[in-house]
Structure 1
């Protein structure tokens, strides 16, 4: 893990992933997938979640139906997932350090945005109890429902689209991305951006090697390392 005291290239704008980075949703998704697979007398394994972290809706549906052989259509799987998440999402909480960091950057007038693979319906469900928090962002790009995002993570599309919507029109190298998934890290790097990774503790360390900086929690982040105002 790189030293937290190391200095990196100074940046002007910050882009955040949402699931598993700002909001503790991965545990909700795991429960939803487990419940669905149990209906078909199949078992959900932890490593499945690692394979689909950061993926868009279509990719996830194909993984369960095509790769795992769930005996249902993509639409049926999506319908079941929507129902499960509708019941679970009200219990969605912030990840450690997320609220403090976002509020700090907003207060210091650092342009911030969200780039999530979620679609509109999913986003609305997960953020229903945190609407004021998400108003702090300049804009939010929803990968699964935004027509300008042609390919999901690990493609760079969502990050480039997100950067283009900032009023100050930053270059990719002027943006810092926060991600928890290998797919997200690859997408951010492909976009030409530095990326801070806060991975699931169960993730293989080999899958964190492409990140600019790896942290155990957002609570460890030091804004001044990237030329931002310190706490």
Structure 2
């Protein structure tokens, strides 16, 4: 196994992996800047009630955790003089106001455009799917801008799996692997005649959150972790543990599903700009 240093990241390349045939994308904080919007919405409410802005030490515990923005960790820290129900209502009002202004993150447009016509080194078409914990109502708000509608046209309608998809078991959000396995199923169910089913080992997941990386590892898929700069700072020195899925932010058991530190299944990148396709057997 060869390790190649690139700025602060380590890209681990190993010949034991098959070329990638499917790329599965998270959305929030990976494709569009919704994490900054979530922070803005929370901070506007905190400021209204004389509370300080949410620090990354707290936000890092919320990212990628379903329902965490109105959960115990946040409210124990925030100590707001309002009920959780009122906070939830005010948060929804803020989101209605700000979500339509989400923007694509650096490198996203080029990456999706490239992958829609890419093959791997074996000549197999590379397929893409979306696996986002966002519920449909929020998803539609976030992609309502024409620029974002065009961006998400890269994902076929039947290859989008959202957090409230009825095919997903309730209570099995990330870090459980279900959403990524369902996304793979949507691809396999719509392959062209002559294409063999894609295995989890032939999938590459793109994630920004720590629970999302863990979900990918539990699904037995390779993963690219592209954290927000603030989140990356919180996990400095723990990158390989994150890539192994072994942070345990939301314990769900079944630790046999997790990876091992430095096993080569994960890659840490600062952004999606200048994506290293060849490291994953993708030909462009």
How does the TM-score come out when normalised to structure 2?
0.73
1:42 aligns with 2:51: yes
Give the structure 1 partner of residue 249 of structure 2. none
Structure 2 stretches of 5 or more lacking a match?
Answer: 1-8, 119-124, 192-196, 244-265
Give the structure 1 partner of residue 212 of structure 2. 184
User: CA, structure 1 residues 225+201, in 2 after alignment: closer, same or farther (shift >3 Å)?
Assistant: same
Distance 1:66 1:161 in 2: 34
Distance 1:174 1:69 in 2: 46
Work out which of the residue numbers 93, 110, 115 in structure 2 matches 1:100.
Answer: 110
String of CA shifts for 1:199-219, please: whole Å, max 9, x gaps: 122222244324211111111
Work out which of the residue numbers 116, 123, 132 in structure 1 matches 2:150.
Answer: 132
1:123 aligns with 2:139: yes
The correspondence of residues 66-215 of structure 1 with structure 2, limited to 5 A, is 68-108=78-118, 109-129=125-145, 130-138=148-156, 139-143=159-163, 145-150=164-169, 151-166=172-187, 167-168=190-191, 169-202=197-230, 203=232, 204-209=235-240, 210-211=242-243, 212-215=266-269
How does the TM-score come out when normalised to structure 1?
0.89
SS at match of 2:10: coil
SS at match of 1:2: strand
Q: Larger radius of gyration, structure 1 or 2? A: 2
User: CA, structure 1 residues 82+200, in 2 after alignment: closer, same or farther (shift >3 Å)?
Assistant: same
Distance 2:21 2:212 in 1: 20
Give the structure 2 partner of residue 3 of structure 1. 11
Residue 178 of structure 1, CA deviation: 0.5
C-alpha RMSD of the superposition: 2.0
How many residue pairs were aligned? 227
Structure 1 stretches of 5 or more lacking a match?
Answer: none
201-210 vs 160-169, which moves further: 201-210
The 8 Å contact of residues 7 and 226 in structure 1, kept in 2 or not, is answered as: no
String of CA shifts for 1:53-105, please: whole Å, max 9, x gaps: 1122x233224346655455554333222211221123211111001000111
